[in-house]
Homo-oligomer: A and B are copies of this chain.
Amino acid sequence: VSKPLSAQTALAPAASTVEDVLALVRARGGRVTSPRRVILEALFEAAQPRVGAGHLTAPQLAEAVHHRAPDVHMSTVYRNLDDLQRMGVVVHSHMGHGPATYQLASLAHAHFICEACGATVEAPETLVRELAREAQTELGFSIDPYHFAILGRCAACQ
């Protein structure tokens, strides 16, 4: 049984700047603090195509945060990730083994991960939607397609 999701609000609509997200945070009863701002900045930075795939583990995020604000504590990072998820502006997913990764809700996408070379492939939306449709009609199940990566072997590694 997973954590209570009852307090989870709807996911954030596309928000393209840190200040957009902070406005959402405020609108949803959260406060704007400097650790929170830095954490969101780091998540935005990781989402830059040149920088990364847009998802970071909590330790990776903490390291990025420490470049700007060395005093932000690990536990603050975890608590913020939790809170930001409850506010619907961040989502986490499980990519292969190892710790969960976090990303901005507005940028969430489904993943395939190659077990051999570690490559991550973004799943096309059509495929995701089709799976969602089938799970709904056949099982009455409404899937959360971004939460778990699908593992296997990429074209090059088969």
Whether a CB of chain B sits under 8 angstroms from the CB of A51 is: no
Chain multiplicity (copies): 2
What residues of B have a CB within 8 angstroms of the CB of A145 in the complex?
Answer: 150
- Take A135-B112, A135-B150, A148-B150 as given contacts and tell me if A141 and B121 are in contact as well, using a CB distance cutoff of 8 Å: yes
**Which residues A56-104 have CB closer than 8 A to chain B?**
94, 96-97
Complex contact A149–B150 (CB within 8 A): no
B135, A143: Cβ atoms closer than 8 Å:
no
Please state if B96 and A2 are interface contacts (CB–CB under 8 Å): yes
Known: A94-B94, A127-B134, A150-B135. A1 touches B118 (CB 8 A): yes
Interface residues on A, range: 35 or more
CA distance A37 to B135 in the complex (A): 38
Q: Which among B5, B139, B151 is the interface contact of A112 at CB below 8 angstroms?
A: B139
Would you list which residues of chain A between 115 and 158 have a CB under 8 Å from chain B? 115-118, 121, 123-124, 127, 130-131, 134-135, 138-145, 147-155, 158
A142 to B148, CA, bound (A): 16
CB contact under 8 A between A3 and B142, given known A127-B135, A134-B127: no
Q: Is the CB of B148 within 8 A of A153?
A: no
Q: Please, which residues of chain B bring their CB within 8 A of the CB of A124? A: 138-139
